[in-house]
Amino acid sequence: MYFKNVGYLMKEITTLDSKHRPKISYIETLFYCNEKSIGQSEFYQSASVGFKPEIKLEAKLIDLTNITHVKYNDIIYKILRTYKKEDIVELVLTSTVVENK
């Protein structure tokens, strides 16, 4: 299986600014993936509990330790769910607005 799309795993880092307020930044790591569609039943089950899955990506098994967001097509998504099967991991994502003032 070929992975033709490019995404970035985003690890959240909290630092303090000059006034000692927390500032969130991200370390991005490139990974290759394929875009898949959200299944109809998966969409409705998630919507019934208040989530709105928007995109599903599959990639080779990767280390997701402390990974909270994924950047794909210049949009930052929050990870809703991961599913591992053999050597593939599926990431179900929802869009989010990340503010960093």
In the chain, where are the structural domains located? Answer: 5-95
Residue 85 has pLDDT above 80, yes or no: yes
pLDDT in tens, 8-63: 999 989 999 899 999 989 999 999 999 988 776 666 566 656 667 788 999 998 88
pLDDT in tens, 65-77: 889 899 999 989 9
Q: Quick one: CA dihedral 45, 35, 9, 91, positive or negative?
A: positive
pTM: 0.78
* Domain made up of 5-95: CATH architecture: Beta Barrel (2.40)
pLDDT confidence of residue 101: 46
Q: Could you give the CA distance from residue 98 to residue 76 in angstroms, rounded to a whole number?
A: 8
